[in-house]
Amino acid sequence: MTFSPPRNHGCRISDEWSYRGMRTLVLENETLRVTVLLDRGSDIVEFRYKPLDLDLLHFGPQGVRNPTQETPSAYTDSPYLDFFNGGWNEILPNGGSPVVYKGAVLGQHGEISLIPWRCNLLEDSPERVAARLWVRPLRTPFCLEKTLWMEAGKAALFIDERLTNEGGESMPLMWGHHIAFGRPFLEEGALIDMPARRFIVHPPMPDYEPRRFQPGSEGIWPHAPMLDGAQGDASQVPPYGDDKTQEMGYATDFEDGWYAITNPVRRVGFGIRFDPAIFRYVWYWQQLGDGAEGYPWWGRTHVAALEPWSSYPTDGLTEAIRNGTALTLTPGQVIETSLCAVAYAGAKRVGNITEHGDIEFSPS
């Protein structure tokens, strides 16, 4: 690429930053700043809507930790929760509980979410910036590449991804984007819009009480039976302090691939467009009102995550293989996909998000 002179206007990009000893990539324009930890899974730890100086992502009470500089107090095959601080984590090839697949121990949400990624800057102009990131996991033969890019005047991050099976045998996988939202964005509650037709509530889980909806039940999105038998509305995220509950569910059977989460009081929201042929489920995970006691939350978190995933449930790869939802790549097979994440102003329900990152509000 041809590097432009330093500037303080239009689009900007730099991989010369460091945060707590980790290489850090920053992309920004007039309305949006995105911060990416290259040395920690390419985590997006900031998605800041500049007009309101509001980071829409969850930022955990323990802050951002560098997994290469802190020794766990007890060794485990699932360090993900030790270092979870919210934000946007990309996950491959295992979702949820630790599993062993053909001799490979795959920890919780393993194995690309905590290891370093490579990065090359591709474009750097006031009109457009772009960077290519890539990683090869330690225990499975995948190569995941993605290009992050941003253009002037639009509060949107575009992501083009390419996943390759470099192994000599077919490989099943779970692929997800763990996008978590928190305070202050969720302080007054939020509304969720997405064109799903089915909502599955995860079965009973040990030490996961109280729940908002009846474990193991199903409904037509956004409805599901609550514990008292009444129909609940999963599209409504309660304000902080109103409800101390936990929940795990899955929205699926999408008519189109997008979702939006809006704070109608602050008149701001986050939306994402994805390919529903690849990401067939949106995991619905909530720990609300500091109600989650014990490790790792200790009664001090308020978070709602909406996670595009290839597969379900959060019981790990072996269960996704058993229920037929795991993706499988044959030797040398490549799949490509694109996502677009956008911050927007407005208090109405969202009716669509285009591939160009334009928000179309519902007329009502």
Is the confidence at residue 320, as pLDDT, over 90? yes
User: Which pLDDT does position 240 carry in this prediction?
Assistant: 93
Which residue bears the tokens 């097979």?
333
CA dihedral 100, 102, 105, 106 (to 10 degrees): -80
User: Which pLDDT does position 132 carry in this prediction?
Assistant: 98
CB 340 within 8 A of CB 273: yes
Please enumerate in sequence order all residues whose Cβ is within 8 A of that of 305, keeping only pairs 6 or more positions apart, or say none.
58, 178, 179, 180, 181, 283, 284, 285, 286
* pLDDT confidence bin for 42, thresholds 50/70/90: very high
**What residues pair up with 179 in beta bridges, in sequence order?**
88
Q: Give 290-313 pLDDT, tens digit per residue.
A: 777 888 878 888 999 999 999 999
Q: Give 232-282 pLDDT, tens digit per residue.
A: 999 999 999 888 889 999 999 999 999 999 999 999 999 999 999 999 999
Q: What is the mean pLDDT of the chain?
A: 93
The CATH number corresponding to 12-68+75-348 among 2.40.50.70, 2.70.98.10, 3.20.20.70, 3.30.70.2660 equals 2.70.98.10
Q: Give 126-154 pLDDT, tens digit per residue.
A: 999 999 999 999 999 999 999 999 999 99
Task: Tell me, rounded to whole angstroms, the distance of Cα 75 from its chain centroid.
Answer: 26
What is 52-73 written as a DSSP string? GTEE-B-B-TT----TTT---S
Is the confidence at residue 363, as pLDDT, over 80? yes
Burial label, 16 (beta-carbon count in 10 A; 0-12, 13-18, 19+):
exposed
- The whole-angstrom separation of Cα 28 and Cα 65 is 23
* pLDDT confidence bin for 3, thresholds 50/70/90: low
The type of residue at 180 is: A
Q: Give 6-31 pLDDT, tens digit per residue.
A: 788 899 999 999 999 999 999 999 99
User: Which pLDDT does position 83 carry in this prediction?
Assistant: 77
Task: Tell me, rounded to whole angstroms, the distance of Cα 43 from its chain centroid.
Answer: 9
Average pLDDT over residues 330-342: 98
The CA R_g of the chain, rounded to the nearest whole Å, is: 20
Domain boundaries, the chain: 12-68+75-348
- The whole-angstrom separation of Cα 257 and Cα 355 is 10
Q: Give 191-223 pLDDT, tens digit per residue.
A: 999 999 999 999 999 878 889 999 999 999 999
Task: Tell me the CA end-to-end span of the chain in Å, nearest whole number.
Answer: 47
The type of residue at 82 is: D
In degrees, to the nearest 5, what angle opens at C-alpha 88 toward C-alphas 85 and 91?
Answer: 100
